Chain A
């Protein structure tokens, strides 16, 4: 009898602990415990922001704009997601990728749900473009941000090709069809044409920042600092590019407040990287040559 009682108590204790641990494994301590009262969705943007297919499978170090857009759309349709926090740690990316994510965020905000950006180490250029499509921007004092501008780069390998005996023969339908070719210098006309292209994209960037910082910065103020300069989170706050200084949890708290959620409301990371992405991100080599060619990059 005594043996059975002792074993019964032990088994009961183990069952209780097992059940509790399974229940708590569903959420970690900092995700909040207010299940069922509405959630804050978190979307992480890490590394260069690019379009699907523009990166090789082994360079999964960036954020795929299409996947991010998909998560934003899903979050907009979900009734339990009441606010969105963008956790951005990105130096920028292609102009189209930033624009696409920005447009989708604007649509999300039209549903009445707030978007708060939390900047990590870096939230510059295209990363800042995306941040401008949020209601509040929170940065750490040492976050690197700014870098508002557009860049397009080409390599001229004409001299190298000459040394190793390579000469490219080009048959083209128009004067500008091989614009940006690595086998020759840009002509003056081509340079003007590409500069206009960059200027137009830059103007769009200024529009986005002016729209995103409406009431906080004038277009003139934006233009004054939109020369590609990198600034800290604290400088950004002084200039008006950032609303508040704080960390990820401050951003969560602000999002909860804006969405009228409880302080302990649940948090769900909507785009957690899969095992493959994380493993590849750790082992993949960085590019030896800078990314160049037909891309306007923020």
Chain B
């Protein structure tokens, strides 16, 4: 597939495009797309934050540092997510596809490039609620694409993909509750 077709397909024909990508596995283009989105958003977020900040504060010079740290972390998380979901899928459904999933998740970040740009344009025309609404819609769009990525890359049904997608979150919530409970019991001297 031509890159421009992939980009269009991810945005407007995601299921078929992600299925095709999970088979072809163009890892480098997927990573380049993910990084391009991150770098573009870095620039637009800078404009958004500085538009809301004050002259005297020291925010400006740290912004790049925070943003680059955020971009590096999200890049790291892309690999963690691909590995984790592939591992869980192998354990539960016996269907691993880490590299295919990496490609699909990388491309599924594509709508994220529109979020900050739309928010910034809403800020420029001074309609704040529209910016928030656009960001929410884009956020939901990306979540849907991530679930579709799981479904297509791991050949799961939509229900299975949703279950797999929320599983790490459920585990994390249970672990958090357990930690809080243990600390509470320690605090009361029961343990």
Check if A79 is an interface residue, CB within 8 A of chain B. no
B61 touches A21 (CB 8 A): no
Check B156 for interface membership: any CB of A closer than 8 A. Answer: no
Complex contact B43–A22 (CB within 8 A):
yes
Cβ-defined contact, A28 with B50, below 8 A: yes
Q: Are B65 and A21 in contact (CB under 8 A)?
A: no
Say yes or no for B117: interface residue by CB 8 A criterion: yes
Task: Mark contacts of A77-104 with chain B using CB atoms, 8 A cut-off: 1 yes-contact digit, 0 otherwise.
Answer: 0000000000100000000000000000
Q: Mark B11-54, 1 if CB is under 8 A from A, else 0.
A: 11000000000000000000000000000100110111011111
- Pick the interface stretch among A176-184, A193-201, A273-281: A273-281
Q: Are A28 and B55 in contact (CB under 8 A)?
A: yes
Assess A87 versus B53: contact at CB under 8 Å? Given A6-B8, A7-B8, A18-B44: no
- Distance in Å: Cβ of A101 to nearest Cβ of chain B: 19
Q: Which residues of chain A come closer than 8 Å to B12, judged between CB atoms?
A: 6
Q: Which residues of A contact B52 (CB under 8 A)?
A: 29
Given the interface contacts A3-B5, A274-B61, A275-B62, does A17 sit within 8 Å of B55 by beta carbon?
Answer: no
B-side interface mostly: helix
- Per-residue CB contact flags for chain A residues 8-36 toward chain B (1 = under 8 Å, else 0) read 00100110011011111101111100000
Q: Mark A38-63, 1 if CB is under 8 A from B, else 0.
A: 00001010000000000000000000
Contact A24:B51 (CB < 8 A) given known A7-B7, A275-B65: yes
Q: Is the CB of A21 within 8 A of B58?
A: no
- For A31, the closest partner residue in chain B by CB is B55
With most chain A CB atoms within 10 A of its CB, the pick from B43, B56, B61, B62 is B56
Cβ of B58 and Cβ of A273 under 8 Å apart?
yes
Are the C-beta atoms of B61 and A20 separated by less than 8 Å?
A: no
In angstroms, Cα B61 to Cα A275, docked, is: 7
CA distance A150 to B50 in the complex (A): 42
Chain A residues with CB under 8 A of B117 = 13-14, 17-18
Contacts of A24 in B (CB 8 A): 47, 50-51
Verify A30–B47 contact, CB threshold 8 A. no
Asked if B121 lies at the interface with its beta carbon under 8 angstroms from chain A, I say yes
**Bound CA–CA A29/B40 (angstroms):** 21
Residue A14 contacts which of B56, B60, B113 (CB distance < 8 angstroms)?
A: B113
Q: For chain B, give the interface size range.
A: 20 to 34
User: Distance (Å) between the CB of A246 and the closest chain B CB?
Assistant: 15
User: Given that A28-B53, A44-B56 are known contacts, is A20 also in contact with B120, CB under 8 Å in the complex?
Assistant: yes
Query: How many angstroms from the CA of A23 to the CA of B120 in the assembled complex?
Result: 13
The answer to the question of A216 belonging to the interface, with a C-beta cut-off of 8 Å to chain B, is: no
Q: Which residue of B lies closest to A14 (CB)?
A: B117
Considering only residues 34-92 of chain B, those with a C-beta below 8 Å from chain A are: 40, 43-44, 46-48, 50-56, 58, 60-62, 65
| CB neighbours of B132 from chain A (8 A) | none
Interface residue ranges of B93-121 to A (CB < 8 Å) = 113-114, 116-117, 120-121
Asked if B166 is an interface residue, CB under 8 A from chain A, the answer is no
Q: Is the CB of A20 within 8 A of B124?
A: yes
Q: By the criterion CB–CB under 8 Å, are B40 and A18 in contact?
A: yes
Of A18, A20, A23, most B-chain CB atoms within 10 Å: A18
With a 10 A CB-CB cut-off, give which of A17, A23, A87, A272 has the most chain B CB atoms.
Answer: A17
**Known contacts A28-B60, A275-B65, A278-B58: does B53 contact A20 (CB below 8 Å)?**
no
- For window 173-219 of A, CB contacts with B under 8 Å fall at none
Residues of A with C-beta under 8 A to B114:
10, 14
Residue of B4, B11, B44, B62 near A17 (CB, 8 A) is B44
11 A/B residue pairs, CB under 8 Å, sorted by A: A6-B12, A20-B124, A21-B43, A21-B44, A21-B47, A27-B50, A28-B54, A29-B51, A29-B53, A30-B54, A275-B61
- Closest 6 A/B residue pairs (Cβ): A21-B47, A17-B117, A31-B55, A21-B44, A28-B50, A3-B8
Other than the known A7-B4, A269-B56, what 9 A-B pairs have Cβ atoms closer than 8 Å? A14-B40, A17-B121, A18-B43, A18-B117, A23-B47, A25-B47, A28-B60, A42-B56, A269-B55
